A = this chain, B = another copy of it.
Amino acid sequence: MTEEVIELPEPDAESKALVEKMLSGDRRALARLMTLIESRPPGIYKIMAQVSARMRGAPRLGITGPPGAGKSTLIDQLIREWRSRGHTVGAVAVDPSSPFSGGAVLGDRVRMQEHALDQGVFIRSLGSRGSQGGLSRATMEMGCLLDAFGMDRIMIETVGVGQTELDIIGIADTTIVVLVPEAGDTVQTLKAGLMEIGDLFVINKADRDGADQLSVEVRSMLEMHHREDGWEVPVLMAQARNNVGIKELADKVEEHRVFLMDKPRVGPFRQDYLKRWLVELLLAELGERIRGPQQEQVSQVFLQVEEGEMDPYSAAARILASPEIIKSMLRLSDGP
């Protein structure tokens, strides 16, 4: 049997030119490429392969925590700090309430716009568009673009309140959990899983009542968690708005980066993550084929489900029972 090969679509000439321009350091091309990638054009695999080849493995810093913890202000200050140390910085905000995505009060927004004038900074926000999986994929891809573009440090902001923070683990090398002194809820949030993912904890708005108490609580919870990698998780105090504690935080982040250096590959280069990433890409493509136009046999089953005549489980069982139907559904059939 000769092996049939489907050529995956090439990016169009315009996209190719955009990638070249981006890789040569054109900021507008970077912005346009991000928009292009988000729209998931047919040539995306080849575009991202080209981008991947140029990635340098810039450290990725995840910043997560409940809404209102001041994550964006912290990022804003960290950008300043890194710039003063001579690093270029790219940031992706996945928090739809982030000032980066226009969800903030005017003062914050104005402050952020200062960075727009700095050639060494590039900030991109991802709204609440698309599904969770889609957001996670998009975040990862924006990070890859910023890396290939040549940014020295990459920051990713997500809202972490239970489920959502799970995604950041695979994407970041170093994860900062930002907390604020507030009644009751904090301990709950910690229990919700943030405890396990933080490489650094920051008590922000540390001039508020209860900051010391919170710090003690976090430390005592950390003591109950054994870190296998031997990293000692610091709990830092900060007042991002007043630029207090930022230098110390940046130092600790760098310390963690150095700590990771003699460890197995991390973040986007971790073995398990790379495989998961490949599986996700494959499933995304198969999903598109399934959702696309279907021949009689499959579309009949879909229709029965939509009409409530068959439950989704029975329908799935019926489709999965036949390799021929699966092949037809995934457009893998041999003949017409």
Given known contacts A52-B314, A68-B185, A313-B45, A162 and B96 CB-to-CB distance under 8 angstroms: yes
Using Cβ atoms and an 8 Å threshold, which residues of chain B touch A17? none
> Is the Cβ of B6 less than 8 Å from the Cβ of A321?
yes
> Is the Cβ of B282 less than 8 Å from the Cβ of A317?
no
- Of all chain B residues, the one with the shortest Cβ separation from A105 is B184
Does A103 lie at the interface of the complex (its beta carbon under 8 Å from any beta carbon of B)? yes
> Is the Cβ of A163 less than 8 Å from the Cβ of B96?
yes
- Interface segment, one of A116-124, A130-138, A239-247, A254-262: A130-138
- Interface segment, one of A24-32, A78-86, A186-194, A212-220: A186-194
> Is the Cβ of B67 less than 8 Å from the Cβ of A185?
yes
Q: How far is the CA of A167 from the CA of B66 in the complex (A)?
A: 19
> How near does chain B come to A185, taking the closest CB pair, in angstroms?
4
> Is the Cβ of B332 less than 8 Å from the Cβ of A323?
yes
> Is the Cβ of A282 less than 8 Å from the Cβ of B316?
yes
Using Cβ atoms and an 8 Å threshold, which residues of chain B touch A321? 5-8
Q: How far is the CA of A185 from the CA of B207 in the complex (A)?
A: 19
> Is the Cβ of A282 less than 8 Å from the Cβ of B3?
no
Using Cβ atoms and an 8 Å threshold, which residues of chain B touch A105? 184, 187
Q: How far is the CA of A133 from the CA of B136 in the complex (A)?
A: 12
> How near does chain B come to A109, taking the closest CB pair, in angstroms?
12
> Is the Cβ of A48 less than 8 Å from the Cβ of B313?
yes
Q: How far is the CA of A166 from the CA of B96 in the complex (A)?
A: 13
Does A305 lie at the interface of the complex (its beta carbon under 8 Å from any beta carbon of B)? yes
Using Cβ atoms and an 8 Å threshold, which residues of chain B touch A250? none
Most chain B Cβ neighbours within 10 Å, of A192, A277, A283, A305: A192
- Of all chain B residues, the one with the shortest Cβ separation from A265 is B308
> Is the Cβ of B6 less than 8 Å from the Cβ of A193?
no
> Is the Cβ of A45 less than 8 Å from the Cβ of B162?
no
Q: How far is the CA of A6 from the CA of B326 in the complex (A)?
A: 11
Using Cβ atoms and an 8 Å threshold, which residues of chain B touch A275? 302, 305-306
Which positions 292-315 of chain A face chain B at CB distance < 8 Å?
302, 305-308, 311-315
Does A286 lie at the interface of the complex (its beta carbon under 8 Å from any beta carbon of B)? yes
Using Cβ atoms and an 8 Å threshold, which residues of chain B touch A40? none
> Is the Cβ of B314 less than 8 Å from the Cβ of A49?
yes
Does A322 lie at the interface of the complex (its beta carbon under 8 Å from any beta carbon of B)? yes
Using Cβ atoms and an 8 Å threshold, which residues of chain B touch A103? 188, 191-192
> Is the Cβ of B282 less than 8 Å from the Cβ of A45?
no
> How near does chain B come to A262, taking the closest CB pair, in angstroms?
17
> How near does chain B come to A273, taking the closest CB pair, in angstroms?
9
> Is the Cβ of A52 less than 8 Å from the Cβ of B313?
yes
Given known contacts A279-B287, A313-B52, A97 and B189 CB-to-CB distance under 8 angstroms: yes
Does A291 lie at the interface of the complex (its beta carbon under 8 Å from any beta carbon of B)? yes
Q: How far is the CA of A323 from the CA of B323 in the complex (A)?
A: 13
> Is the Cβ of B191 less than 8 Å from the Cβ of A97?
yes
A-B contact pairs, 10 of them (CB 8 A): A5-B321, A7-B321, A8-B317, A45-B316, A46-B317, A96-B192, A97-B162, A159-B162, A283-B283, A326-B332
